[in-house]
Structure 1
Amino acid sequence: MPEIKLTIGDKNLSSWSLRPWFLMKYAGIPFTEENIKLDRPESRAELNKKSPSGLVPFLQHGEAAVWDSLAISEYLNDQFPEKNLWPEAALARATARAVSAEMHSGFSALRTVWPMQVTHRDLKHVTSGGVQRDIDRINTLWTMCRRDYGKGGDFLFGQFSIADAMYAPVVSRLTTYGPVALSAEASAYRDMIIDLPVMKEWEDGARAEIGIS
């Protein structure tokens, strides 16, 4: 099989990059990583040269060129069916796809007002401008997924899935700007994700990029 290369942005800031990186790391899919620093004079030209969309993340696999984090996740699911990246049961799988798509297209207030800053903790930022509404919806989704589908393990649908990768940056944001009020189920899920070795590895990379220990 050809080598997989994932091009990402800064680990401290690029929430969309975290999603496929987290997915491949946790699922044990081998890949090489290329990092393009964002918000620099040369960034736009470099991104336009490498990525069809001019954005990160961007995955290369032989002749395949896939951009967009959810499309990359679906591509990996097709390439590695043995990894079971979606739940096996039809209803759980449909729900996992729905909550992933909702993350992909929604929660604009949270993403705008609370940009990902992996290396920060407990900033206690304001929840105006629709942020609290987004938090409440996320709390509802996490609680529902864990209650209805998560009895077989610690993840949203019991076993690890693409849905967990899609919400990993949200976990980071809630840790950066919290504390926030969540249900017991959602709080346990947040704490479990942030303590995973793969999240620690991403945070270590972010700290190294900006020169802090």
Structure 2
Amino acid sequence: MDELTLYIANKNYSSWSFRPWIAMTAAGIPFREELIPFGPGATHPRFRDLSPTGRVPVLHHGAVRIWESLAIIEYIAELFPDAGLWPADRESRSLARSISMEMLSGFRALRSACPMNMRRPVNGIALPEGVIADVTRIEEIWRDMRQRSGGPFLFGAFSGADAMFAPVINRFATYDLVRDAETIAYMDAMRAHPAWRVWEEAALAESWIVPEDEA
């Protein structure tokens, strides 16, 4: 099999890079990581050479190029069907994909107001309109999925859906957004995962600074 190469940006800031990286790492998928730090405007000239969107993450697999976080997770799930990136039963898979798509396309108020930043000290901010509604909906998703599966992750074992929501864990913690015990229990399970800890350690060691309005 051709080598898998995942191109990502700064681990401290790049929420979209985090998603496929933690999915592949948690599933034990072998891949080569290549990190290209953001330049001005949270971009880099090399990104255009790697992906038709000019953004990362992008996965190279021989001559195949796969961009967008969820598409990468889907591709890896097809390539490694025994890795457990999606739940085994059809109903759970449909739910996992539905909430992953909701994460992909929604929660813009939260993402805009509270960018991922693993080095940022924990501190609340004045929340623009829409953020609380986003937080409430995400908590509802997490609560419903974990009650249905029994936890500790959204569908019992770690899955692609957990990977899609991984950056939200950092946002909720860093901006001090939640108090619910069930929400915090899920966040604790995610932050204790070995793959999370590897990413976080590397993020905290980075020295690059990107203004929050560019990340």
CA distance in 1, matches of 2:121, 2:177: 9
User: Which amino acid in the other structure matches residue 16 of structure 1?
Assistant: W
Which deviates more, 89-98 or 41-50? 41-50
Give, in angstroms, the shift of residue 39 of structure 1.
3.0
User: Which amino acid in the other structure matches residue 164 of structure 1?
Assistant: D
* Superposed counterparts of 1:40-59, under 5 Å: 40=40, 43-59=43-59
User: Which amino acid in the other structure matches residue 130 of structure 1?
Assistant: G
* SS class of match (2:40): coil
Aligned partners of 1:122 and 1:179 also within 8 Å: no
- Stretches (4+) displaced over 6 A: none
Aligned partners of 2:87 and 2:159 also within 8 Å: yes
CA distance in 1, matches of 2:33, 2:152: 28
Matched, 1:77 2:87: no
Give, in angstroms, the shift of residue 195 of structure 1.
2.1
Give, in angstroms, the shift of residue 179 of structure 1.
4.5
Give, in angstroms, the shift of residue 79 of structure 1.
0.1
Give the percent of matched residue pairs that are identical in Structure 1 and Structure 2.
Answer: 44
Aligned partners of 1:110 and 1:130 also within 8 Å: yes
CA distance in 2, matches of 1:136, 1:197: 28
Q: RMSD of the alignment, in Å?
A: 1.8
* SS class of match (1:5): strand
In the alignment, which residue of structure 2 is the partner of 1:186?
A: 183
TM, length-normalised to structure 1: 0.93
Pick the aligned partner of 2:205 from 192, 203, 208.
Answer: 208
When the two structures are aligned, how many residues end up with a matched partner? Answer: 209
Aligned partners of 1:146 and 1:185 also within 8 Å: no
User: Which amino acid in the other structure matches residue 27 of structure 2?
Assistant: A
Give deviations 1:157-196, integer Å, cap 9, x for gaps.
00111000000000011111114133x3222101111122
Aligned partners of 1:16 and 1:69 also within 8 Å: yes
TM, length-normalised to structure 2: 0.92
In the alignment, which residue of structure 2 is the partner of 1:91?
A: 91
Pick the aligned partner of 1:167 from 165, 168, 186.
Answer: 165
Give, in angstroms, the shift of residue 42 of structure 1.
10
CA distance in 2, matches of 1:192, 1:16: 20
* Superposed counterparts of 1:1-213, under 5 Å: 1-40=1-40, 43-148=43-148, 150-151=149-150, 153-182=151-180, 184-210=181-207
Aligned partners of 1:147 and 1:185 also within 8 Å: no
Aligned partners of 1:12 and 1:116 also within 8 Å: yes
Unaligned runs of 5+ in 1: none
CA distance in 1, matches of 2:179, 2:42: 41
User: Which amino acid in the other structure matches residue 81 of structure 1?
Assistant: P
Unaligned runs of 5+ in 2: 209-215
CA distance in 2, matches of 1:41, 1:130: 25
Give, in angstroms, the shift of residue 9 of structure 1.
0.7
Give deviations 1:19-59, integer Å, cap 9, x for gaps.
00000110000111111111338943211112121001000
User: Which amino acid in the other structure matches residue 72 of structure 2?
Assistant: I
